[in-house]
Amino acid sequence: MIEIRGLEKYFGALQVLKGIDLDVAKGEVLSVIGASGSGKSTLLYCINGLEPIQKGSVIVDGTDVHAKGTDINKLRQKLGMVFQQWNSFPHLTALENVALAPKIVKGKSKAEARDIAEKQLRHVGLDDKLNVFPSALSGGQQQRLAIARALAMEPTYMLFDEATSALDPELVGEVLDTMRLLAEEGMTMICVTHEMGFARDVSDRVAYFHQGVMEEIGPPEQIFGNATSGHTRKFLANVR
Amino acid sequence: MFDYNFHWRPVLKNLPDLLGAGLLTLQVAVLAMVVGIVIGLALALIRMHMRGPLYWLATGWVELARNTPALFQLFFFGFGLGAFGLHLSPFAIVLCGLSFNCAGYLAENFRGGFQAVPETQLRAARSLGMTAWQAYTRIIIPQVFRIVYHPLTNQLVWAVLMSSLGMLVGFRELSGETQFFASRTFRIFEYFAATAVIYYVIVKIILLASRLLAARLFRY
């Protein structure tokens, strides 16, 4: 379970998160929507400790992410992350991209790491690209590679930071399909997204962020059909 | 000039000595590169990530190495330190001088290399649970190395050619050895012409080796 309490985050003098309270239960798929600059991506970075926070707390399975003495590298193994700019490692083949972290972070043997990598690449439909370098993959394939890479650490949670925003329109579908597949398998997911169709169809809950505040959270039917906040309604009217 | 008679015999007779000196040249240049890479990498990282005295030391190093004649840098380790009673061997003088110079140039190469690798690569590596050390050694530095590889080759070539300044501090590397034989036999033109060819061959070998190595190292 991820428990966020009174989370405040500043970049210099600019406050980007203004006291967020949010619980995400195991097995839940939460979509986070909102305009650019509303703080939704920063929220993900605060959850896995890539960004320090100024106030409040983020607790993952009982461990305070930002507390002194927390083994953040160990904790991050539970929190798979997929980035907007897929960030595949260009000097490694698809297989090596996925196998590296299990090998050096988890201490798996070479053969074990290879097995894990092959399994996850098959999982995302890249089993014919094992020995291909990322430069020879399309954006959609690179993003699926990034998903496989995160899954290879056998995380409890998956954080998606606008995983489809940088893709050509015709490649969005294959990545969303992969994310849907994960959701169906019961993965706990927090998806920062601009894909309203995905948010509506796949999520258990949708959160709307506005200028660093979580304006509204609820089941998709409520957010998309009967939003209580004027900001939410305005945002949704504009994106549709 | 046109009635000059070439005498190649003394050159041929001393060719083994010249080739031996050529090896010494290669040796000091490669060593200077190794030292230069280690220090240059450190200087680049210090300049990117630190403030205070270390930053200023690193910046001063880079500024001096890049903006003063290499010869003066050699003289510093020879006559400069000598004036303070610290007498280095000619080999050590040249090694120190070249290393100092290479480190300064390489520091800037590395800095450019680090800046060319997107910061998000580090985030992606850390998000997988890698320590900063793992992220740097397995993800960042291999990419930086690829970016600076050809500039690195250039620097090695430059170090080989620059080591000829060693003859001015009494080092019997290729140029020093040539000077020694030339002044003994007065076949100055022949000796330096032969030596120029040896330098050329050394550099060509380096470039070829570098290209072969690159083909093996860089698969992407």
To 10 degrees, what angle do helices A139-151 and A94-104 make?
A: 20
Chain A residue numbers touching B122 (CB-CB < 8 A): none
Smallest CA-to-CA distance from A44 within A101, A71, A74, A84 is with: A84
pLDDT single digits (tens) A156-181: 999 999 999 989 888 999 999 999 99
Residue B157: predicted pLDDT: 95
C-beta atoms of A105 and B126 within 8 A: no
What is the phi-psi region of residue A192: left when phi exceeds 0, alpha when psi lies from -120 to 50, beta otherwise? beta
Its pTM stands at: 0.83
Residues spanned by the domain of A11: 2-239
ipTM of the complex: 0.91
For the domain that residue B78 is a member of, what is the CATH number? 1.10.3720.10
**Which residues, at least 6 apart from A1, have a Cβ–Cβ distance to it below 8 Å?**
A23, A24, A25, A26, A59, A60, A61
Using only C-alpha atoms, chain A has a radius of gyration, in whole angstroms, of 18
pLDDT tens profile A59-108: 999 999 999 999 999 999 999 999 999 899 999 999 999 999 999 999 99
A153-187: b (≥16 Cβ within 10 Å) or e? bebbbbbbbbbbeebeeebbebbbebbeebbeeeb
Triad B72, B76, B80: Cα angle to 5°: 135
Residue B11 maps to a domain? no
For residue A240, what pLDDT is reported? 66
The answer to whether A211 and A38 are in contact (CB under 8 A) is yes
Write out pLDDT tens, residues A121-140.
Answer: 999 999 999 999 999 999 99
In contact, A69 and A235? CB cutoff 8 Å: no
- Residue B2 pLDDT exceeds 80: no
In chain B, what are the helix, strand and coil shares in percent, each to the nearest 5?
85, 0, 15
Cα–Cα distance, A152 to A164 (Å, whole number): 20
Read off the CATH number of the domain in which A134 is found.
Answer: 3.40.50.300
Domain extent, residue B127, equals 28-217
What sign has the CA pseudo-torsion B189, B192, B198, B202?
negative
Sheet with A79-82: strands ordered across: A79-82, A157-161, A188-192, A29-34, A205-210, A213-218
- Point out the residue among B127, B131, B143 whose CB comes nearest to the CB of A81: B127
Q: Which amino acid is at A135?
A: S
Mutation test of the interface with chain B: which of A81, A104, A142, choosing the one with the most B Cβ atoms within 10 A?
A: A104
* Residue of B120, B128, B219 lying closest to A101 (CB–CB): B128
Q: What is the pLDDT of residues B84-141, one digit of tens each?
A: 989 899 999 999 999 999 999 999 999 999 999 999 999 999 999 999 999 999 999 9
Specify if B120 maps to a domain: yes
Q: Å from A225 to nearest chain B CA?
A: 36
Q: What is the pLDDT of residues A37-54, one digit of tens each?
A: 899 999 999 999 999 999
* Cα separation values, B131 from A81, A106, B24, B122, B124, Å: 16, 12, 41, 10, 12
How far is it, in rounded angstroms, from Cα A60 to Cα A47?
A: 8
Give the mean model confidence (pLDDT) for residues A207-212: 95
Residue B21 domain-assigned? no
- Residue B208, pLDDT > 90, answer yes
Q: What is the domain count for chain A?
A: 1
The total domain count for chain B is 1
Residue B1 lies in a domain: no
Give per-residue pLDDT as tens, B157-182: 999 999 999 889 888 888 888 888 88
Q: Which residues of chain A lie closer than 8 angstroms to B129, CB-CB?
A: 73-74, 76-77, 101, 105-106, 153
pLDDT, residue B217, reads: 87
How many CB contacts within 8 angstroms connect chain A with chain B? 66
Query: Rounded to whole angstroms, how far apart are CA atoms B189 and B1?
Result: 12
Does the structure show a pLDDT above 90 at B202?
Answer: yes
Residue to test with chain B: of A76, A87, A165, most B Cβ within 10 A: A87
Mean pLDDT computed over every residue of chain B: 91
When CB atoms are compared, the residue of A79, A89, A153 closest to B139 is A89
- Of residues A81, A83, A105, nearest to B130 (C-beta): A105
CA distance A120 to A181: 13
Q: A225, A231, A85: which is closest to B123 by C-alpha?
A: A85
CA distance A202 to chain B (A): 25
Percent of the residues in chain B that have a pLDDT greater than 90, as a whole number: 68
Query: pLDDT tens digits, residue range A181-191?
Result: 999 999 999 99
Instruction: Please tell me the predicted confidence (pLDDT) of residue B112.
Output: 95
Q: Two tokens at B145?
A: 């190395």
pLDDT of residue B1: 61
